[in-house]
Amino acid sequence: MLAAVFAVAGVAKLSDREGSRQAVVDFGIPASLAAPLGILVPLAELAVAAALIPTPTALWGALGALVLLLLFIGGIGANLARGRKPECHCFGQLHSAPAGFSTLARNGVLAVVAAFLLWRGLEGEVGPSVVGWIAALSPTQVLIVVVGMVVVALVGAQWIFLFGLLRQNGRLLGRLGAIEERLAAAGLAPSETWTQPTAGLPVGAEAPAFALKDLGGEEVTLDGLRSSDKPVMLLFIDPDCKPCNALLPEIGHWQEEHSEKLTISLISGGDPEANRAKSSEHGLSGVLLQEDWELVNAYEAVGAPNAVIVEPDGTIGSPVVRGAPDIRSLLAQAVGERAQLPMHPATQEEPCPNCGKVHAAAPTVPAALRVGEPAPEIKLPNLEGEDVDLAGLRGEETLLLFWNPGCGFCQQMLPDLKDWEANRPEGAPKLLVVSAGTEEANREQGLVSTVVLDQQFAVGQAFGSSGTPSAVLIDAEGKVASELALGAPAVLELAGMTRTRP
């Protein structure tokens, strides 16, 4: 069992050497050692696995396993003590999650197993060889075993190839999303108006009625949701959808902040327990469960996450929008606040050509401050509850980074940002992260720079930012020293960072 664990871990790490190198950096090892350790660690794991199998070397394999596990436990424990939870990358692309007490416990159990094997080996009782039975096989049986192993290896290689292909596709989608975000900021996005064909039912059509069970087993109907004469936003999600999960912290905040203007109901599927866990983690309410995606089909809301507005009179109030940026814009339009994209092409004086109703014009994004203008005064609490004043940072150049832990683009940029923090170039600006989200969510990011909380995104708006991640340089005299950079590539370029991931 111990040999299998180390073999899988070693092969998985070697198949994702870039991820292994980044994991070493995330755990606080200098970047100069990251590349060799990213290869040496999986090679050491494979050597341990190989030594554990034959009887003559089992004792040394147990000793090597115990040493490696104690080193892993020490590294994880040191980071947890500092409040950091870097990605463990324990099994490469097969499984990677933030290091926590469960990771520590798992390594502890394996260390106990290795210590037991070492003790038995010192007593001269290592047990029978794992491969000793092969000697008793006939040539035909050996051939069958070899063919079986080749088939298993080929199937495994196929799954690894498919997994890598899907991962590459995910990176490509992330880069396209960043490009679209920058185009939207420049006013060049093709989705800036609704003149193109829209998804979902026609605006003004009657919304399909439904009766679904909530997480408590109570039946909830569409008529019940709109009984308060407020618009209803139906958000279609999936507990196994990564973009959906990245948006959940924001949704919980939206439900609390906009409850007087808008009813937000999440339509999900899958395992009820998984949905309860997500709901509890992010403080969500109004989660309804469909049995077989019947409501997704009824509203023609294919894919996730996506959303649609149902007006108080029971008619469709918007096209179906998909993806976090357009969902944020839809929300802003529904509650009458700043929107990144207009929901309707009509103004207050013109009826919408789709539904015939008069809609409020989409609010405009504040203009970005010009280079040389004094930076607005800000005073926000940090994660320890102490106020941080921008005026107190004068005397050195500061990079204001507008951030949100629930933003998928921020999460894609996070490894590059942490790498930059660990290897900050000489003459680089001081970093001040102005972030939305909860204190706990921001602590989990593992950033060492000062993080201040701006739940309403008021500071970002004051600097003309239309989304996250975005950034602006403030010089030593407290004046704006750069144009606003919107999107991860522009932010990294502004900070003089070097991307470590595509």
Within 13 A of 339's CA, how many CA atoms are on the CB side?
20
Quick count: other Cβ atoms within 10 Å of Cβ 282? 19
Question: What's the pLDDT at 349?
Answer: 39
Length of the chain as a residue count = 502
Q: pTM to 2 decimals?
A: 0.35
Question: What's the pLDDT at 320?
Answer: 87
Question: What's the pLDDT at 308?
Answer: 92
Question: What's the pLDDT at 401?
Answer: 92
Tokens linked to 237:
């999600």
**Tokens 């996250």 label which residue?**
468
Residue 222: strand, helix, or coil: helix
Question: What's the pLDDT at 356?
Answer: 44
Question: What's the pLDDT at 433?
Answer: 92
| Cβ(214)–Cβ(290) below 8 Å | no
How does pLDDT run across 381-428, given as a tens digit for each residue? Answer: 888 888 888 777 778 889 999 988 877 678 888 888 888 888 887 778
Low-confidence ranges of the chain (pLDDT < 70): 92-96, 126-135, 167, 171, 174, 177-178, 180-199, 228, 303, 336-368, 408, 466, 497-502
DSSP 366: P
Type and span of the H or E element at 421? helix 408-422
Report the alpha-carbon distance of residue 42 to residue 186 in Å, rounded: 45
Cα separation values, 419 from 108, 178, 179, 424, Å: 28, 20, 23, 8
Query: Residue 217 corresponds to which amino acid?
Result: G
Angle between helices 139-185 and 324-335 (to 10 degrees): 40
Report the alpha-carbon distance of residue 379 to residue 369 in Å, rounded: 18
Task: Name residue 435's beta-bridge partners.
Answer: 403, 453
DSSP characters over 85-142 = --B--TBTTTB--B--HHHHHHHHHHHHHHHHHHHHHHTT---S-TTGGGGGS-HHHH
Question: What's the pLDDT at 7?
Answer: 86
Residue 154: strand, helix, or coil: helix
| Cβ(485)–Cβ(472) below 8 Å | yes
Phi, psi (degrees; rounded to nearest 5) at 306: -150, 170
Question: What's the pLDDT at 94?
Answer: 63
**Tokens 């196994």 label which residue?**
240
Contacts of 137 (CB under 8 A, 6+ apart): 145
| Cβ(304)–Cβ(237) below 8 Å | yes
| Cβ(334)–Cβ(233) below 8 Å | yes
| Cβ(401)–Cβ(428) below 8 Å | no
Report the alpha-carbon distance of residue 502 to residue 496 in Å, rounded: 16
Structural domains of the chain, with CATH:
2-136 (no CATH), 211-237+266-279+286-335 (3.40.30.10), 379-495 (3.40.30.10)
Closest by CA position to 47, among listed 38, 37, 32, 57: 57
How does pLDDT run across 206-225, given as a tens digit for each residue? Answer: 999 999 999 888 899 998 88
Question: What's the pLDDT at 345?
Answer: 33
